[in-house]
Structure 1
Amino acid sequence: MATETAALAHERVGTTTGPVTLVLHGGGPGCHAAGDFAAVLAVRPDRNWLLVDLPGYGGSPAAGGPRLGTAAAALRDLLDGLGPDRVDVLAQSYGGLVALHLAADAPERVGRMVLLGSVPTPTPGAITGLPVDTGLGARLRADYSGDGRPDLARMRRLIATAEWHDGGAVPDALVAARFRADRAADGAVGVPEDLGDRLGAVTAPVHLIWGRHDPFAGPAYADALAGALPRADLTVLAATAHHPQSERPDAVAALVDAHLGS
């Protein structure tokens, strides 16, 4: 059952032995850890998973202050309360930004990281002109709920056009789960924060997983981000967009095993 510590809802699933893998979700409407990563959890029930909903998402209350810093501080408090000295991380998009913030500020708490489609800065390594759309998230939210009338059809359109490469394959159950969990009124989205000056402090080994057709930032961006992080590798998945964990769960699970250990 999900519980709350340090204002963050969390849930332990899988095995109770072995290293803990912290799971953090993306920042789209209705995103939450159990929903975003349900397909990966189903094919790897033998890992020690810690699922966390960040402030304003899933079962966690909204919080004031700078979005990433506040979320990272709440996450650190949660880990202090639960007790694991160090966790590995599997995170998507916004969750990856929170994880990078935590890894830069408290490197002793983070082991190895697998990040999917996370865009912590528009100019990694001070490289300009990269294929990154910093305003896409805001436009998607405006289309989904800007008039205060979100519905299942709009949620499906959002997922199909921005998160999956094969929009026709999006499961009805995923659309329904995201719609049920949507809490747009809580104001979880804040002003974008640039983590470019923190990337050099991330000493944890990072494996970036990227969809070749990710509309938020293309593979050239991912390659630059890998170069800006001190210890990073990159895998680009064909026929995949912004949510590889849902669209390609078997491939993601294999890469998680390879980087974090099986």
Structure 2
Amino acid sequence: MDTDAAVLSHGRAGAVGGPVTLVLHGGGPGCHAASDFGAVMAARPQRSWLWVDLPGYGASPAAGGPRLGTAAAALRELLNELGVGPVDVLAQSYGGSVALLLASDAPAAVRRMVLIGSTPTPAPGGVPDLLDPGLGARLRAAYAGDGRPDLDRMRRLMTDAEWHDGARLPDALVAARFRADRLAEGASGTPEDLAEHLDAVAAPVHLVWGRHDPFAGPAYAAALADALPRADLTVLHATAHHPQSERPDAVAALVDAHLGSSS
């Protein structure tokens, strides 16, 4: 598969040198790593950050083929080209599923992971009905189903699904997401069910979950932790699907605790 990893938009932040922490964004409209995780990266400038926009997000062009498989392959090529690794990973939702597939297919590439609100399978450990599989499609339809998305609709999407306290949602973050969505080519494909890959994830995983995540609640997170070979779980109260934006200090502290301090 020719994934042309060089076209993946990426950048560096924080310290030069030292272990690299790879940052991967979620799958909502306009999601991109530099904005979604900007507050966390700024809170830990002593860490060496590598943020990447997956195919169809940010400035990365869309790609054909299985959505997760294509993204994981492109990401693996990019890491090889940059000569970094093994990397630690901080990822959210869709990006966490990509990271799990990368860790399954290339164990030497990933050292440790902190994953936020990731749902790589509809029934972790064979436990059904813990996930709202149609929520993403309903949110996208409300936001852009008529081809007329705007800033107000972006704010409504983020308030309804990503932030527990929408009154605290910064205008600048809404604008960044809307601008990125207008610039992106659009992600394509349906994510695969990664259930059969989870047993092969050797890297330690720490799951971080918003207590009020509408996509899947803490019961899903607990089942996923049980389905992974080496996983723990932290549930953050008063938080929804994007704690990296809503509670960046708490997420940064969990990064230090589970990926190790880079100071």
Letter matched to residue 76 of structure 2: R
Matched, 1:57 2:57: yes
Question: Does residue 89 of the first structure (1) align with residue 122 of the second (2)?
Answer: no
- Counterpart CA distance in 2 for 1:165 and 1:84 is 36
Matched residue, 2:45: 45
Q: CA deviation digits over 1:172-199, x for unaligned, max 9?
A: 0000000000048733042131101100
Q: Is 1:252 equivalent to 2:251 in the alignment?
A: yes
| Contact 1:13–1:49 (CA under 8 A) maintained in structure 2 | yes
Query: Counterpart in 2 of 1:145?
Result: 144
Distance 2:128 2:135 in 1: 18
Report the Cα distance in structure 2 between the residues aligned to 1:204 and 1:145, rounded to whole angstroms.
Answer: 38
Question: C-alpha displacement at 1:16, in angstroms?
Answer: 1.0
Residue 230 of structure 1 corresponds to which residue in structure 2?
A: 229
Contact 1:55 1:188 (C-alpha < 8 Å) held by counterparts: yes
Aligned to 2:157: 158
- Distance in 2, Cα, partners of 1:123 & 1:55: 26
AA aligned opposite 1:170? L
Contact 1:57 1:183 in 2 (8 A): no
SS of residue in 1 equivalent to 2:229: coil
CA-CA distance at 1:156 after TM superposition: 0.2
> Shift of residue 5 of structure 1?
5.0
Which amino acid in structure 2 is aligned with residue 45 of structure 1? P
What do you get for the CA RMSD once the two structures are aligned?
A: 1.2
What is residue 99 of structure 2 aligned with on the other side? 99
CA distance in 2, matches of 1:188, 1:56: 4
1:205-220 counterparts in 2 under 5 A? 205-220=204-219
Contact 1:134 1:216 in 2 (8 A): yes
CA apart distance, 1:6: 2.5
Gaps of 5+ in 2: none
Deviates more, 1:95-104 or 1:120-129: 120-129
1:183, 1:234 → 2: CA distance?
A: 35
Does the CA-based 8 Å contact 2:115-2:205 persist in structure 1?
Answer: yes
Task: Return the TM-score normalized by structure 1.
Answer: 0.96
CA distance in structure 2 between the partners assigned to 1:189 and 1:169 by the alignment: 31
Counterpart position of 2:199: 200
C-alpha contact (below 8 Å) 1:117/1:210 kept by paired residues: yes
Q: Distance in 2 between matches of 1:249 and 1:13?
A: 16
User: What is the match of residue 180 of structure 1?
Assistant: 179
Q: Give the superposition deviation at 1:229.
A: 0.3
Structure 2 length as normaliser, TM-score? Answer: 0.96
Runs of at least 5 residues in structure 1 that lack an aligned partner in the other structure: none
- The alignment covers a number of residue pairs equal to 258
Whether the 8 Å CA contact 2:85–2:109 is kept in 1: the answer is yes
